[in-house]
Chains A and B, each alone.
Chain A
Amino acid sequence: MGPMDDLEWHVEREVPHLRRFAYALTSRRDEADDLVQDALERAWRKRHLRRGGALRPWLFKILYRVFLNGIRKKKMPVVEWQEGEMGTAHEAVPPAQDMRLSMDDMSRALEALPEEQRAAVVLVALEGVSYDQAAEMLGIPVNTLRSRLFRGREKLRELMDGTEEMKPRLRRVK
């Protein structure tokens, strides 16, 4: 097995982690797999620029960059609140005292977070990495990572306990 084969083997082992993180970022499986594929193709093209070190942070950083680039290309206005299908925000959200901390609630709360906060929260939760490692994986300073993480968690808590009103699900519109 040559060095390149070895690298491919190691990259393949990282794919489940990448797919999971991509799904956490996009909330859609098809988009997640597309994102991972784009990231891996970019990683292949840029592999000569990698200077040793752990493979996972490098791949995650690329994936997150590709994700952010995709958001910029979409320019975000493509995502709008659709209240018609799910009623008003009030109707869509049960009273706080009745809210069950279901997976669906967590999913919706994560979707309501700004992308950068969501990335920080899910990355630390899913990968169990240190804040320094998470910052490296997202390509941001560690202080920025901490700030996003703490703010994201606080907002997540507010959304989950009803302190902050949870909006209806996002629906992508053309």
Chain B
Amino acid sequence: MTRNRDITELDLHAYADGLLDLEPERKEEVEAYLHTHPDKLVLVSNVREQNEQIRALFGEAEWDDTGETARAFGPSSARRIMPVSFAGAGKIAASLAIGVVAGYLISTWPEVDARQNIQTAGTAGMGDAALHLAEAGARPGLALSSLAPDLSAAGFRFEAHEVEYRGEAVDHLRLRYRNEAGAAAVLTVAAQVPQGAPEIDMVQEGSTTQLRWSDGVFSYELVSDASAEEVRNLAGILTEETPRPQLETLPAGEPVQQVDAYDPQGFGGPQGNAPSANTAPANAFEQPQGAPALLPANGTMPAEMHPQG
């Protein structure tokens, strides 16, 4: 008879936890052991008592109301959070709004500070809108990179930006990011919201994924040749930012809408053919061969590229 020979502390805990119910033979062995070792009943009793107290302490029914928490899993969380929490994009959008509302953006921008501050290119995608590619690296304290959402958690680094004007008002702003694998992601923030536009819309065409959403004031678009999963991750990271600032809290004259340095050729070249927000492939911002390199995201212009230098 081998009964009781191999009973261990593990068996006693498992018995107390009710884990031997599916192993009736082992359960019988443990019970026989306890019959001959009543001192071990204390351990079993203690474990069961602890389990009961823990279950009583944390209850069950009170946790059934999942409330908003459950929405954190799924795109519905984006619908819930995006409209109020795109801090990085929000700051940019706020700056756009100031530019649109005040209408002073370009008029207050000293041309002398720009190496090649405005180029115009009519494109089919833009309709009658003029595409103004501006470079203002010499303007102190105007690093747009500080406003660009930080997507480094998804492996994407801010590279450059593009501002598009309609007349003298900002029409929209594009921010380009790239990951180590070379995949680009372009975030467009526009000051118009199409009527009837869905809150969030995702389209995949070939290797390009396009994610659009709006918050009722601004529309956003994320286009990337990264995987759809990575695009969702990017959107998810954007939703984790803190709430965007209220427009009215920004000083009316604060030049946050200004842009930092980049080379306009990086956005399609001086002859135009600038990418449309709706049609631009993710690689639309590829640097043309022979063109000067885009300036770094910190807005610091190399001396050899400075207009004064």
Contact = CB atoms under 8 A, between A and B. Distances in A.
Interface of A: 4, 8, 11-12, 15-17, 19-20, 23-24, 33, 36-38, 40-41, 43-45, 48, 101, 103, 106-107, 110, 121-122, 124-126, 128, 130-131, 146, 149-150, 153, 156-157, 160
Given A12-B73, A37-B72, A106-B57, 15 more contacts: A11-B73, A15-B63, A15-B69, A16-B60, A19-B69, A20-B58, A43-B73, A44-B72, A103-B53, A106-B53, A106-B54, A107-B57, A126-B58, A128-B18, A150-B13
B56 A36 contact: no
Contacts of B14: 131
Contacts of B58: 20, 23-24, 122, 126
B64 A124 contact: no
Contacts of A43: 73
15 contacts: A8-B73, A16-B66, A24-B58, A33-B69, A40-B69, A40-B70, A41-B77, A101-B49, A103-B56, A106-B53, A107-B57, A125-B51, A128-B18, A131-B19, A149-B13
B73 A121 contact: no
Interface in B233-259: 233, 236, 240
Contacts of B74: 4, 8, 11, 44
Nearest to B9: A150
A152 to B, nearest CB: 9
A131 B55 CA distance: 18
Contacts of B46: 153, 157
Nearest to B74: A8
B229 A48 contact: yes
Nearest to A23: B58
Interface residues of B, number: 35
A12 B74 CA distance: 10
A20 B66 contact: no
A70 to B, nearest CB: 14
Nearest to A103: B57
B75 to A, nearest CB: 8
Contact of A36 (B53, B72, B76): B72
Nearest to A16: B63
Given A16-B66, A126-B58, A41 B53 contact: no
A8 B72 CA distance: 10
A131 to B, nearest CB: 7
Given A16-B66, A20-B60, A153 B77 contact: no
B59 A41 contact: no
Contacts of B77: 40-41, 44
B178 interface: no
Contacts of B53: 101, 103, 106
Contacts of A4: 74
